[in-house]
């Protein structure tokens, strides 16, 4: 109950508290003999330095915070669906933190409305985290970035849309990934390829459409009216837009959806229309979510290195906290991977 403090350890080892502090922090200038005595005393007492005291007295807090959009999270909660993307991010970062003796704090941010400024400022003042991992749409929020800069808090932007000197980021090339997937479809022989755009608030949505358009153009394939549909990343919107695509006078032989949920919606709409995937219409997704693997047919999709991204981000932040004020890390680009599964095939006939 009455916790053991640095004084207890010092007393038992017969040294000053400063020496204990040095040993616990692996600072130099401690003779091996001293160090062993301290370590033994600490071990016997089961001593573990109090985080609050450390961060209050020192310059580090041993805490990395992850900023996550509140609205999205609440949506996921309502629908009782786990947020696949979010949980992957946490896995990567948590593991990295654990190894370094850091702790990961999940913070929900309300990005809409005027209170962002106050909310984030309060968070930074209260927590004083050593680093913040920004997930979309935080990665691109100017207010968040400004406050972080003002507070002098290190951060890494995960998969942001905009680049221009807004701070270090860890990301993948969405344009390229979408281009490659489109080219895979073209390579299969498809000429009319429908595209479903994701929720416009996300930078990735624009990037993926851009990649699709680039590939179509590069191969001289016309993108006729109605072939590009606006979705919102939900299964429902996938169903709706697939129906619209199927109703086209010259309906596509393949659909590329900006995420797996929408792609699965397409598969469902296609089946409902009495058609087969991929026999009649091929479908490609994006994300490699767990449902992509367990659906029938299993989805051809793009694997994003999400866990790796957050793992790298945490690593950067922790390294920077250690050396305090290291050089700003540059952008880090992680490779994606096309996952070829059963939902894409050559067009009929």
Partner DNA sequence: ATGAAAGCGCTAACAG
Partner DNA sequence: CTGTTAGCGCTTTCAT
Radius of gyration of the chain (CA): 25
CA dist., res. 9 & res. 46, Å (int):
9
Here's the x/- map for DNA, 262-301, by CB under 7 A: it reads as ----------------------------------------
Q: Which stretch binds DNA (CB under 7 A): 3-11, 202-210, 221-229, 330-338?
A: 3-11
Residue 22 in the binding site for DNA (CB under 7 A)? yes
CA dist., res. 13 & res. 9, Å (int):
6
Q: What minimum distance in Å lies between the beta carbon of 82 and a second copy?
A: 4
Q: Which stretch binds DNA (CB under 7 A): 5-13, 113-121, 167-175, 297-305?
A: 5-13
Q: What minimum distance in Å lies between the beta carbon of 19 and DNA?
A: 4
Q: Which stretch binds DNA (CB under 7 A): 53-61, 88-96, 169-177, 190-198?
A: 53-61
Residue 28 partner contact from DNA, a second copy, none using kind-dependent CB cut-offs of 5 to 8 Å = DNA
Residue 7 in the binding site for a second copy (CB under 8 A)? no
For a second copy, the binding residues in 17-46 under the rule CB under 8 A are 46
Determine which residue in the list 36, 40, 56, 142 makes contact with DNA, applying CB under 7 A.
56
Q: What minimum distance in Å lies between the beta carbon of 23 and a second copy?
A: 15
Determine which residue in the list 43, 53, 322, 340 makes contact with DNA, applying CB under 7 A.
53
Q: What minimum distance in Å lies between the beta carbon of 58 and DNA?
A: 3
CA dist., res. 52 & res. 313, Å (int):
24
Q: 119: which 2 tokens?
A: 């909310």
């Amino acid at each position: 109950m009455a916790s053991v403090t640095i004084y207890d350890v010092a007393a038992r080892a017969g040294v000053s508290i400063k020496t204990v502090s040095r040993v616990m922090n692996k600072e130099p200038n401690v003779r091996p003999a001293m160090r062993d005595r301290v370590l033994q005393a600490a071990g016997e007492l089961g001593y573990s330095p109090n985080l609050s005291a450390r961060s209050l007295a020192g310059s580090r807090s041993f805490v990395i915070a992850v900023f996550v959009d509140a609205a999205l999270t609440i949506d996921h909660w309502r629908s009782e669906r786990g947020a696949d993307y979010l949980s992957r991010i946490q896995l990567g970062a948590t593991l990295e933190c654990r190894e370094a003796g850091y702790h990961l704090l999940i913070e929900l941010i309300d990005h809409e409305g005027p209170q962002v400024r106050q909310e984030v400022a309060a968070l930074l003042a209260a927590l004083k985290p050593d680093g913040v991992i920004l997930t979309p749409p935080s990665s691109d929020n100017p207010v968040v970035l400004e406050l972080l800069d003002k507070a002098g808090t290190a951060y890494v932007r995960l998969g942001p849309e905009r680049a221009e000197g807004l701070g270090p980021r860890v990301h993948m090339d969405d344009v390229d990934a979408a281009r490659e997937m489109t080219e895979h479809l073209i390579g299969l022989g498809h000429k009319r390829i429908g595209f479903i755009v994701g929720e416009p608030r996300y930078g990735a949505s624009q990037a993926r459409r851009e990649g699709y358009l680039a590939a179509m153009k590069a191969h001289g394939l016309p993108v006729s009216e109605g072939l590009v549909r606006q979705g919102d990343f939900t299964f429902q919107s996938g169903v709706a837009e697939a129906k619209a695509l199927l109703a086209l006078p010259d309906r596509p032989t393949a659909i590329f959806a900006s995420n797996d949920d929408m792609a699965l919606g397409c598969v469902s709409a296609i089946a409902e229309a009495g058609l087969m995937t991929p026999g009649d219409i091929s479908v490609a997704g994006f994300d490699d979510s767990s449902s992509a693997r367990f659906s029938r047919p299993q989805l051809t999709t793009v694997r994003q290195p999400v866990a790796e991204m957050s793992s790298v981000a945490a690593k950067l932040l922790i390294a920077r906290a250690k050396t305090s004020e290291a050089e700003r890390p540059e952008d880090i680009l992680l490779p994606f991977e096309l996952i070829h599964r059963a939902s894409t095939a050559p067009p009929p006939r």
